[in-house]
Amino acid sequence: MLSVPSRTPPARQPGADANPSAPRAGGARAPRHVGRRSGPWPGVQCNEQSRPAEMSSNVVYAIVKAGGRQEKVAVGDVVVVDRLAAATGETVQLPALLLVDGATVTSDADALAKVTVTAEVVRDERGPKIRILKYKNKTGYRKRQGHRQALTRLKVTGIA
């Protein structure tokens, strides 16, 4: 006589999980990182000698407003902002919103009025092309348009 295998799954012990990465009740998954993390990034131990430049006490940078956006700049940085009405080679002054000089942080409006961030215009350029497509179904209406943003490349020459 032939024996027919049973279609019932094998018995499991309560609490035993066959696949630990399978979705749990409520959609939660098992944690990927187990254990403590130390330092500013996962898995990185920091001491005073191996600290990144942004965390050291002798760094000077400013947050400036340029073309409707805010940029973090230091001396020697090259930033791309919206088109400015200045010729190539001219110097422009950018309004500072925050100044970090080592451990000193300046955010007072009266003190920042005395701070000048100067930059030299490297060149005018245009951003990447974006394509805009308007479409309405069932009518045959299609409209295609492109756009390239006018930009200015600046090199920061001083923060005083």
pLDDT digits (tens, 9 = 90+) for 53-65: 555 568 899 999 9
In this structure, is residue 154 part of a structural domain?
A: yes
Please count the structural domains in the chain.
1
In this structure, is residue 101 part of a structural domain?
A: yes
In this structure, is residue 5 part of a structural domain?
A: no
Residue 52 has pLDDT above 80, yes or no: no
Question: Is the backbone of residue 90 left (phi > 0), alpha (psi -120 to 50) or beta?
Answer: beta
Q: What digits encode the pLDDT tens for the residues 1-46?
A: 566 666 766 666 665 555 655 656 665 665 555 555 455 555 555 5
Decide if 155 contacts 78 (C-beta within 8 A).
yes
| Sheet containing strand 69-73, strands side by side | 69-73, 60-66, 96-101, 104-106
In this structure, is residue 124 part of a structural domain?
A: yes
Residue 104 identity (one-letter amino acid):
T
In this structure, is residue 89 part of a structural domain?
A: yes
Report the chain's mean pLDDT, rounded to a whole number. Answer: 82
In this structure, is residue 37 part of a structural domain?
A: no
In this structure, is residue 115 part of a structural domain?
A: yes
In this structure, is residue 80 part of a structural domain?
A: yes
Residues 6+ apart with CB under 8 A from 1: none
Q: What digits encode the pLDDT tens for the residues 96-105?
A: 999 999 889 9
Q: Which structural domain range is residue 66 located in?
A: 51-159
Q: What digits encode the pLDDT tens for the residues 104-137?
A: 999 999 999 999 999 999 999 999 999 999 999 9
